[in-house]
């Protein structure tokens, strides 16, 4: 009998503890692999300043994050692409009013191995390489070796953005589908014949030594610009710069609102720069004010 009582006591305590944990509000953030490290860093600093507020951040890709937002499984969806019209419609069907906030700028970087001679390409050539129309480095000014393509999987916002903005067609079936930005960086570091695309925050530290971060020109004859140069990304001279977004369900309140305000504050934008991305230009500051009032 006594033993039963003890077991009961333990069960009750456990239920109580888990109950309390569940009751404590935790902001769920989910989505883009490009944004995950950055947002992780932002929440860490924010939680230090606001003890007691809890955030849980998971990746999975922009598509996964947006799907979670639509299914009300997260509070903030990180997305390195815009929501598709279909997704907006499905969200509306489920009563989710998706609001977009732009928190940082990314110069989507095309990278090659540090031992590769090619250090700049036009947008058109990059498209041809990833569509599988150019398959040897010698056709773009490199040595005679086959090109190995590294890209993302289809749940990635970067996969979709790069396809729509640069390829305007389908990826080569031979492109290796990697599991995240970090894996592409690691693979290209190892592979002299490799080429890949990642968020600029992921080339920090390796650029110039193990990796070439390619200078890109919008068309033949135009100036080449580097994604590592903040002003060229901000001004749009670098042709594949893009906003990094967060989607919310309706206008934010409470913890979510405070956190978004922190991200957009001077301190938040400084952290974004430390992480290798770029602060948002005035046009997007205005956009955010119109969208969510922050």
Partner 1 sequence: MRFKEKVIHSFFFLNGVLVVIILLGIFALLVFTSIPAFKEIRLSQFFFSGIWNPDAYVKPAYGIVSMLVSTFLITFGSLVIAIPLGIGTAAYLSDLASPRVREIAKPIVEILAGIPSVVIGFLGIVVVGPVIAKIFGLHNGLNALNGSVLLAIMALPTIISLSEDALKSVPKSFEQASLALGATHWQTLIKVKIPAAFSGIIAACMLGMGRAVGETMTVLMATGCAPAMPQSFLDSVRTFSSTIAIELGEVPYNTTHYYALFAVGLVLFIITFMINMASDIILHQYRKVTK
- Residues in contact with partner 1 by the rule CB under 8 A: 60-61, 63-64, 66-67, 86-87, 90, 145, 148, 153-155, 160, 163-164, 167-170, 172-179, 183, 186-187, 190-194
Measured at the CA of 90, the angle between CA 251 and CA 285, to 5 degrees, comes to: 35
182: left (phi over 0), alpha (psi -120 to 50) or beta: alpha
**CB 241 to partner 1: min, Å:** 21
CA–CA dist 219, 239 (Å, integer): 9
Among residues 197 and 277, whose Cβ is nearest to partner 1? 197
Closer to partner 1 by Cβ: residue 158 or 269: 158
Residue 9: CB minimum distance to partner 1, A: 28
**Nearest CB to partner 1, comparing residues 56 and 222:** 56
What one-character DSSP code corresponds to residue 207?
B
CB of 200 to partner 1, least distance (A): 23
Give yes or no for a contact between 154 and 163, defined as CB atoms under 8 angstroms apart.
Answer: no
Q: How far is the CB of 1 from partner 1 (least distance, A)?
A: 21
- Selection from 249, 250, 268 nearest residue 260 by Cα: 268
Q: How far is CA 71 from the centre of its chain?
A: 21
Helices assigned H by DSSP within 144-253:
157-162, 181-190, 230-234
Least CB distance to partner 1 at residue 27 (A): 21
Calpha distance 62→283 (Å, rounded): 23
Which of 55, 150 has the CB closer to partner 1?
150
Q: Closer to partner 1 by CB, 54 or 182: give it.
A: 182
CB atoms within 10 A of CB 134: 18
Closer residue to partner 1 (CB): 175 or 217: 175
Minimum distance, C-beta of residue 2 to partner 1, in the bound complex (Å): 25
């Amino acid at each position: 009998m006594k033993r039963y009582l003890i077991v009961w006591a333990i069960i009750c305590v456990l239920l109580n503890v888990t109950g309390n944990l569940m009751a404590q509000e935790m902001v769920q953030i989910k989505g883009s692999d490009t944004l995950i490290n950055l947002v992780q860093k932002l929440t860490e600093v924010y939680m230090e300043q606001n003890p007691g507020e809890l955030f849980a951040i998971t990746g999975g890709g922009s598509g996964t994050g947006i799907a979670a937002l639509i299914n009300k499984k997260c509070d903030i969806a990180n997305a390195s692409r815009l929501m598709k019209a279909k997704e907006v419609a499905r969200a509306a069907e489920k009563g989710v009013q998706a609001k977009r906030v732009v928190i940082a700028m990314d110069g989507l970087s095309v990278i090659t191995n540090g031992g590769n001679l090619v250090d700049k390409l036009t947008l058109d050539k990059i498209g041809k390489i990833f569509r599988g129309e150019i398959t040897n480095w010698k056709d773009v000014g490199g040595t005679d070796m086959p090109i190995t393509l590294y890209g993302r999987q289809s749940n990635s916002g970067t996969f979709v953005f790069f396809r729509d903005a640069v390829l305007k067609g389908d990826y080569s079936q031979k492109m290796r589908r990697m599991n995240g930005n970090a894996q592409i960086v690691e693979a290209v570091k190892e592979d002299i014949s490799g080429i890949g695309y990642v968020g600029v925050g992921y080339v920090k530290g390796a650029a110039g030594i193990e990796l070439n971060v390619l200078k890109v020109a919008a068309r033949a004859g135009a100036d080449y610009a580097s994604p590592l140069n903040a002003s060229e990304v901000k001004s749009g001279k670098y042709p594949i710069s893009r906003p990094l977004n967060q989607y919310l369900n309706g206008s934010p309140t409470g913890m979510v609102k405070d956190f978004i305000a922190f991200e957009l504050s001077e301190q938040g934008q400084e952290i974004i720069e430390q992480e290798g991305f770029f602060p948002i230009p005035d046009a997007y500051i205005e956009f955010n004010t119109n969208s969510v009032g922050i």
